[in-house]
Chain A
């Protein structure tokens, strides 16, 4: 399934030439994952066939597809759906069951929040599923100042709001701002964004109940993955939940985490850290 060395070299040369992006060895999986939809779109049987055709018959349209696939910050609302469903159907009920009445505030972190769709999707989920009497706070973080500004502005184009956002939620949680749509103040109030480099020491923050760290680790080598997961574990409450991307895992990288079922997806919890009496299973 993994890309051949020759194919990877071809794609690396192409994106370096056209977009000045350097794909380090070890990113074969990422390239493959990003090109699968492209191959499908052009009717190739797979990435290998698509790249073979492109090398045999170079053409600007397909080259552009490759570059876009590897450079576009593509973010949908409720991306992959399942983690958001797990949050509403598994995590929130468990917190409601195990937390005492004195601690009815939930903190979530959308790490590598890009233009903010994930953080606001989390806010919508909580708005709709949090039990009465609970409050919430969401922190988004990104390495790019540009993305932090965009996320704080919370304005999205027509094309962006089409991506995975149900129309009922569009009209409920957004308002028109010229040609764009802006997240309502009621939702923005609970969401803030911080500039943060996940591979550097993290700033002091109160711990989180839920951390979404999705499709971030795939960009890092194993040593960096270990460092990021170690940093993140310190910011996860003992009964907290970590959600990774569908193609990511802590297994073989950091044994402090335990993979647990969470609805139709998996989440990770810090081993031996759950207080007595708290449910362990997802």
Chain B
């Protein structure tokens, strides 16, 4: 699941995860993502989450997902321009598994996902 209010960024992220054989669904903010998740029987394996979005920001989304048992298995990666150390600490404390600072390269994103065991063998950055 790719959650970002920028359509262009959603496209970039979708293209990257497609290389790792993920089929991505999109949401433009945290609330839209939660609404979508509520309708889904199968929980996505991974969410790439922007921080600053209208309606519900990424940090709130992470906090809400962590509070809901049904979504416990989702791997949560913040993908954001927020680069202050304190913000990264906040996101990790809220339950994000990884944090990628924008701008990032495709290789860097794949390396981060590899750290989380989400890159099938044979796919290199």
Chain A residues close to B by CB (< 8 Å)? 36-37, 40-41, 76, 158-159, 161-164, 166-168, 170-171, 174-176
Contact indicator B108/A37 (Cβ below 8 Å): no
Given contacts A170-B88, A171-B88, A176-B85, contact A164 B104 (CB under 8 A): no
Q: How far is the CB of B16 from chain A (nearest CB, A)?
A: 11
Given contacts A37-B124, A37-B125, A167-B98, contact A162 B112 (CB under 8 A): yes
Total contacts A-B at CB 8 Å: 50
Contact indicator B124/A159 (Cβ below 8 Å): no
**CB-CB < 8 A to B114: which residues of A?**
164
Chain B residues close to A by CB (< 8 Å)? 83-85, 88-89, 91-92, 96, 98-101, 103-108, 111-112, 114-115, 124-125
- Chain B, residue nearest A175 (CB): B85
Q: How far is the CB of A37 from chain B (nearest CB, A)?
A: 6
Contact indicator A158/B101 (Cβ below 8 Å): yes
Contact indicator A171/B108 (Cβ below 8 Å): no
Contact indicator B115/A164 (Cβ below 8 Å): yes
Per the bound structure, the CA–CA distance linking A40 and B107 in Å amounts to 12
Contact indicator A159/B104 (Cβ below 8 Å): yes
Given contacts A37-B124, A40-B124, contact A162 B100 (CB under 8 A): yes
Per the bound structure, the CA–CA distance linking A168 and B107 in Å amounts to 19
- Chain B, residue nearest A77 (CB): B111
Per the bound structure, the CA–CA distance linking A76 and B124 in Å amounts to 13
Per the bound structure, the CA–CA distance linking A37 and B125 in Å amounts to 7
Per the bound structure, the CA–CA distance linking A63 and B105 in Å amounts to 19
Q: How far is the CB of B15 from chain A (nearest CB, A)?
A: 11
The 5 A-B pairs with the shortest beta carbon distances in the complex, nearest first, are A167-B99, A162-B108, A164-B111, A162-B104, A158-B101
**CB-CB < 8 A to B96: which residues of A?**
167
Per the bound structure, the CA–CA distance linking A170 and B88 in Å amounts to 9
18 contacts between A and B (CB under 8 A): A36-B124, A37-B124, A76-B111, A158-B83, A158-B103, A159-B108, A162-B112, A164-B115, A166-B115, A167-B91, A167-B99, A170-B88, A171-B85, A171-B88, A174-B85, A175-B85, A176-B84, A176-B85
